[in-house]
Amino acid sequence: MNDFTFHNPAMVVFGRGKEEMTGALVKQHGGKKVLLHYGGGSIKRIGLYARVVESLRREGIEFVELGGVQPNPRLSLVREGVALCKQDGVDFILAVGGGSVIDSAKAIAAATLTTKKDIWEYYMNDPNGVSQALPIGVVLTIPAAGSETSDSSVITNEDGAFKRSIGGSCLIPRFAVLNPELTFSLPPYQTACGASDILAHLFERYFTQVRNVDLTDRLLEASMKTILLHTPIALREPENYNARSEIMWVGTLAHNNLLNTGRTGDWASHEIEHELSGIYDIAHGAGLAIVFPAWMRYVYRKSPHKFVQLAVRVFDVDLAFEDEGAIVREMIERLERWYRLLGLPVRLSEAGIPEDRIGEMSGKALVGRQSIGAYQTLGVPDVEAILRLAL
């Protein structure tokens, strides 16, 4: 196990009706003038907007608002948010929505206090360079990205369709309200995309070359089992509180960095996927359902040990298969069947993505870096081969 420091100060408030506490939580964390940030309108349709506004008013907290965050959040709206924060003296950003809203809120929070260089410079060239941000609070409406307690933000610059991330402890939200009932209204496809992203966050951490990480291996395996079991239940019964609760909590634990203590994750599949959603504007979780099986097929031969362990412990593949390769291939097929059961694409063609920009995406995935991935490091030809396997 590697040495590590684990520090995640985000307060998690979990349960039915907990959004009623939003105003009190903002106050507790020092917010006096809030930017209320949200997406395309789902929070108004489910009555959440009204409840959050009422709780802010109850606590006498002033707010300005900026809706309209799109999935794969855009840099241009971040710039609008920064202008609003500066003009109105905002001291706290409240994100009500999913990963896109939260990531946009984080970008605004950082950019409002960053004077040394333009915020996009950090996303493009200095992803760990952001050291200060306005405090952020979250009311989560979709378990997926894990951004509610993560230290990262992913933004798309429309100019060049670059999708890039920054990371830093100042971006960890001060609190996250998790009410599983708020996810009852999710369309089945969004539930599925969210589950795929959660599973991917567990895979990325699981595939490590660091040895003797048995505790985190087993915590990751338990988390994977939970998401594999409960997602089909939530799809069949959208208002099943227990299934929604399991998914929501595992979504947070999958990405708050507890599960990568003492180990180094891979993350190549995420980098490759960001090219797909950056250019084709598909849902991140759908892109991961396409990339992960292809990445697995490409990578397992060099280091099959972790794949075999995963196959046996999580996908219940029988060790009686003739060799390690057969065990791993069986696991990948089971994984693809699960994605299909959820209604997700597992090939580029199924998402309507043609092959003509594979070369461009492979090159862009490596812009500004020597390689991606850690379980196996990948260069441009490897990324191209993986995307071709996904055709």
Question: Binding residues for Zn ion, per CB under 5 A?
Answer: 197
CB 201 → Zn ion: shortest distance, Å?
6
- C-beta of 190 vs 362, nearer to ligand NZQ: 190
CB of 154 within 8 A of CB of 274?
yes
Q: Which of residues 237-266 bind ligand NZQ (CB under 6 A)?
A: 255
> Looking at 147, 216, 245, 257, which residue binds ligand NZQ (CB under 6 A)?
147
Residue nearest to Zn ion (CB): 197
Give the CA-trace dihedral at 229, 351, 287, 188, to 10 degrees. -40
DSSP SS3 for 71: coil
100 binds ligand NZQ (CB under 6 A): yes
Query: Residue 64 in 3-state DSSP?
Result: strand
- C-beta closer to ligand NZQ: residue 22 or 150: 150
Rule CB under 6 A: choose which of 22, 112, 150, 196 binds ligand NZQ.
150
Contact 200, 270 (CB under 8 A): yes
Q: Which region, judged by CB under 6 A, interacts with ligand NZQ, from 5-13, 93-101, 297-305, 351-359?
A: 93-101
Find the largest Cα–Cα distance for the chain: 68
Listed ranges 177-185, 309-317, 318-326, 330-338: which one lies at the site for ligand NZQ (CB under 6 A): 177-185
Which of these ranges, 34-42, 214-222, 223-231, 335-343, lies near ligand NZQ under the rule CB under 6 A? Answer: 34-42
The structure tokens listed for 154 are 């992913």
CA-to-CA dists, residue 6 to 103, 127, 263, angstroms:
22, 20, 12
Complex with ligand NZQ: residue 28 or 157, whichever CB lies closer: 157
Edge-to-edge strand list for the sheet holding 136-140: 11-14, 175-178, 136-140, 92-97, 33-38, 62-66
Residue number, 150 or 376, with CB nearest to ligand NZQ = 150
Among 34, 75, 154, 342, binds ligand NZQ (CB under 6 A): 154
Question: How far is the first Cα of the chain from the last one, in angstroms, to the nearest whole number?
Answer: 37
Cβ of 346: how many Cβ atoms within 10 Å? 22
Of 54-62, 97-105, 206-214, 333-341, which segment contacts ligand NZQ by CB under 6 A?
97-105
Closest to ligand NZQ by CB, 101 or 327? 101
Q: Is 93 exposed, middle or buried (0-12, 13-18, 19+ CB in 10 A)?
A: buried
Q: Judged by CB under 6 A, does residue 149 bind ligand NZQ? A: no
Q: For ligand NZQ, give the closer residue by CB, 176 or 186.
A: 186
Q: Shortest approach of Zn ion to residue 80 CB, angstroms?
A: 25
Q: Does 39 bind ligand NZQ (CB under 6 A)?
A: yes
Q: One-letter amino acid identity for 345?
A: P
Is 269 an interacting residue with respect to ligand NZQ (CB under 6 A)?
no
The least CB distance from residue 167 to Zn ion, in Å, is: 13
* 182 binds, options Zn ion, ligand NZQ, none, Cβ within 5 to 8 A by partner type: ligand NZQ
101 binds, among Zn ion, ligand NZQ, none (CB under 5 to 8 A by kind): ligand NZQ
User: In this structure, which amino acid lies at residue 308?
Assistant: V
Could you tell me the smallest distance in angstroms from the CB atom of residue 216 to Zn ion? 18
Q: How deeply is 17 buried, as exposed, middle or buried, from its count of CB atoms within 10 A (0-12, 13-18, 19+)?
A: exposed
| Binders of ligand NZQ in range 122-141 (CB under 6 A) | 141
Task: State the binding string over 193-232 for ligand NZQ (x if CB under 6 A, else -).
Answer: xx--x-----------------------------------
Residue from 194, 122, 171 nearest 368 by CA: 122
Contact 283, 191 (CB under 8 A): no
Total site size for ligand NZQ, rule CB under 6 A: 36
User: What is the C-alpha to C-alpha distance for residues 75 and 66, in angstroms, rounded to an integer?
Assistant: 14
156 forms bridges with which residues in the sheet? 74, 163
Both tokens assigned to 89: 């003296």
Nearer to ligand NZQ among residue 193 and residue 308 (C-beta): 193
Tokens at residue 303, please?
């280091």
Q: How far apart are CA 12 and CA 315, in angstroms?
A: 30
The binding site for ligand NZQ (CB under 6 A) comprises 39-43, 46, 71-72, 97-101, 103, 141-142, 144-147, 150, 152-154, 182-183, 185-186, 190, 193-194, 197, 255, 270, 284-285
